[in-house]
Structure 1
Amino acid sequence: MNADASTPAPTSPRLSVLDLVPVRTGQSSPQALAASLALVRRADELGFERYWFAEHHNMPAVAASTPPVMIAAATAATERIRVGSGGVMLPNHAPLVVAEQFAALEALAPGRVDLGIGRAPGSDPVVTALLRQSGPTSDVERFPQHVRDILALMSPDGASLRLGDGNLYDVHATPAADGTPTVWLLGSSDYSARLAAELGLPYVFANHFSGAGIDQVLALYRDGYRPSPGHPEPQTFLTANVVVAPTAAEAHERALPQLRSMARLRTGKPMGRAETVEESLATPLDGMAQQIIEDMRSRWVIGEPHQAAAQLRDLATRHGVDEVMVVPVAGSYESEPLDATPGRIRTLELLAEALAA
């Protein structure tokens, strides 16, 4: 039975993608990277808004450690989709280096580059110390100033330093692009939301990582927003872990490897490459890990296409956003090729089709 023509169709959010470049059992890093590049090409074809790469270090199941490198490869492999970082973990990098990298990316792909900036280290304390071995970089206490520095360095006017002799020294991010990347602040607490509001920048809530306090954080951002020349209105969206398959049963099976990886992380268990679906089904976890899995499962979007589309529409409506960045966390079966991720591709395809219906 068709819906009454007078009843407006439910509004569907725009879709984007966050990619951690997962690495599964038996898969090499080159194969994982090839799979992610195939995924960004498909997202481009399907009309997704943007595609961001995360920054994590020393994690066997994640090959996303250098967002600028992946962004460069992705822009070369796509036509229209915006590509960016979700995000560059600023405490690991000097602001000038970040500004120069993203100025170069903007010059290579004008109007298609996003610079998402985060405050977390993206790794454990040992690797964090190794990342900063050459000297102090963007320490957390100076995070707000270093965000301002990046904005200035990428602007047409650049930044000015006052030297010890009192003279000014001009610094610009080079190569100088005709435009500038869009800078977003990322976070899962009120800190980055308040800073984004103060600076007049777009903000993303990392709902895939922690959904706690989302409404309060978004309200702080919107209520405290100070318009800026490039962003007169607050702009925000949120992320969500998503697995979509032709049947709900398959979707739940494909979600299991990532659910188990997150449970291991939260219980301090050794981390390895992502399991196949068969490995996850064959190896039970203890009671605490299972409880964590059930809690996460209730907050993720896992199901057949129309069910998943309804959940995403509801998520966007409840939190007042018109865009959702999905983290396609579908695992692989042992029989599937190592240089592709059919479950992740089908998640994007089925979701796009269902939301367009």
Structure 2
Amino acid sequence: MNAPALSVLDLVPVTAGQTSAQAVAASLDLATHADRLGYRRYWYAEHHNMPAVASTTPPVLVAAAASRTERIRVGSGGVMLPNHSPLVVAEQFAALEAIAPGRIDLGIGRAPGSDPVITQLLFRSGTTSDVDRFPDHITDILALTSPEGATVRFTSGSEYAVHATPSSTGSPEVWLLGSSDYSAQLAARFGLPYVFANHFSGDGLERALGLYRTQYRPSEQHPEPRTFLTANAVAAPTAEEAEERALPQLRMMARLRTNRPLVALETVEQAQADPWDGMTTSIIDSTRAKWFVGTGDQVAAELTAFAAKYGVDEIMISPVAGAYDGEPRDAAPGRIRTLELLAQPVPAA
């Protein structure tokens, strides 16, 4: 089996005792490593008001990552469109395409990426879009970010040209993201690339990919269906260290599943010292079974088999390695090591 190409999904994790500035610095350092190591793309997720997640504004982070990298594609995984005006999203990513021509991905999701209170605050800001018009907004963004732009037609019969940027020569590549049949079928209908959020749960993966592939309508830009998989991964020099570094994120997932108050990520030592109840243990065990954790060779082999099972040539890993006490807070040694151990040789120029 051929090893799949590898990419990175980053939520910019925040560990106890770490500032937002340190978390972002660690993320940008990781992006430069991914670029040097030959990873295909580097995406930032959008989440709001979470103590352990600093990826609130993908376009800002994408711009910073683009300025620090040379080769890797950078983008959103994704922009949660109900939180934003389609025109603003189009303008942001058209500007990013001008900053890093040919390297920008615009991954778009339909979920809010936040709790109901934050959703209402975003709605009150007046910059959100109607979730029920999600397909129309995707069409608008595709038109606005194209060199031809979009046309507004009035009932009087007059027309008005709209461009996300004055004189573009290229467009960001648009991907639809989701964890449901709806997103898979919409991507198929539009002839767009599609990514299922397997790293979050994995339930329904096989069905979503089947719907996408069987219902796909070829488009000019994408004559064939195109998809890859996301996966949580931790690789370390020893299997024992990998399991230890996975523990803080596993315990965070248990908190999410049991509606407990969210906190910054624990360090490995904090996670080991805190007692677990039976429910937490059960959730950790079931979640861990879907993750890829071990030595570099072990994880690489599992990812290759995973890609072959679902017929994809790319895996986007979320490197969920936690930090030990005493490790620098403006870098992420465990996440860097994961990328290094899984990296494939960079082809000669």
Normalising by structure 1, report the TM-score.
0.95
Partner amino acid, structure 2, of 1:250: E
Instruction: Please state if 1:50 is matched with 2:35.
Output: no
* 1:254–1:343 CA contact under 8 A, matched in 2: yes
Residue aligned with 1:261, SS: helix
Q: Determine if contact 1:309/1:354 at 8 Å carries over to the other structure.
A: no
Task: Look up the match of 2:243.
Answer: 252
Q: Contact 2:234 / 2:319 at 8 angstroms: preserved in 1?
A: yes
Residue equivalent to 1:303: 294
How far off its partner does 1:164 sit? 4.4
1:170-218 per-residue CA deviation (whole Å, 9 max, x = no partner) reads: 1111244210000000011111110000000000011101211211110
The alpha-carbon deviation at position 166 of structure 1 amounts to: 3.1
Q: Report the identity percentage.
A: 67
Give the equivalent residue in structure 2 for 1:81: 72
By how many angstroms is 1:135 displaced?
A: 2.8
Q: Given that residues 122 and 128 in structure 2 are in contact (C-alpha distance below 8 angstroms), is that contact kept between their aligned partners in structure 1?
A: no
CA contact (8 A) 2:37 2:346 kept: no
The equivalent position to 1:160 in structure 2, one of 151, 172, 191, is 151
Amino acid at match of 2:341: L
Q: How many residues align?
A: 347
Distance 2:305 2:63 in 1: 34
Contact 2:38 2:344 in 1 (8 A): no
Task: Give unmatched runs, 5+ long, in structure 1.
Answer: 1-9
Are 1:219 and 2:210 an aligned pair? yes
Structure 1 residue matching 2:51: 3-state secondary structure = coil
Q: Which runs of 4+ in 1 moved over 6 A?
A: none
1:68 to 46, 59, 77: 59
Corresponding residue SS for 1:299 = coil
Over 3 Å counting, the alpha-carbon distance change for 1:176 and 1:56 in structure 2 is: farther
Is residue 23–residue 29 contact of structure 1 (8 Å, CA) maintained in 2? yes
Do 2:38 and 2:346's aligned partners in 1 also have CA atoms closer than 8 Å?
no
Shift of 1:138: 1.7
Q: Deviations over 1:236-270 (max 9, x none)?
A: 00100000000110000000000000100110000
Structure 2 runs not aligned, ≥5 long: none
Answering whether residue 7 of structure 2 is matched by residue 19 of structure 1, we say no
Match of 2:181 among 178, 190, 196: 190
Evaluate the alpha carbon distance shift between residue 64 and residue 200 of structure 1 in structure 2; reply closer, same or farther with a 3 A threshold. Answer: same
The equivalent residue for 2:83 is: 92
How many angstroms apart in 1 are the aligned matches of 2:166 and 2:113? 28
CA-based RMSD: 1.4
- Does structure 2 conserve the Cα–Cα contact (< 8 Å) formed by 1:57 and 1:65? yes
The offset of 1:354, in angstroms, is 9.5
Q: 1:100 to 1:354 in 2, by over 3 A?
A: closer
Q: Deviation at 1:140?
A: 1.4
For the Cα contact (< 8 Å) 2:18–2:329, is it kept in 1?
Answer: yes
* Secondary structure in structure 2 of the residue aligned to 1:166: coil
Determine whether 1:113 maps to 2:104: yes
Tell me the distance in 1 between the aligned counterparts of 2:278 and 2:127.
42
1:351 Cα deviation (Å)?
Answer: 1.0
What is the letter of the counterpart of residue 265 of structure 1?
L
| CA apart distance, 1:136 | 6.5
84-93 or 214-223, which deviates more: 214-223
SS in 2 for 1:76: helix
Offset of residue 355 of structure 1: 12
Match of 2:192 in 1: 201
One-letter amino acid matched to 2:163: H
TM-score (norm 2): 0.97
SS where residue 130 of structure 1 aligns? helix
TM-aligned CA deviation for residue 156 of structure 1: 1.9
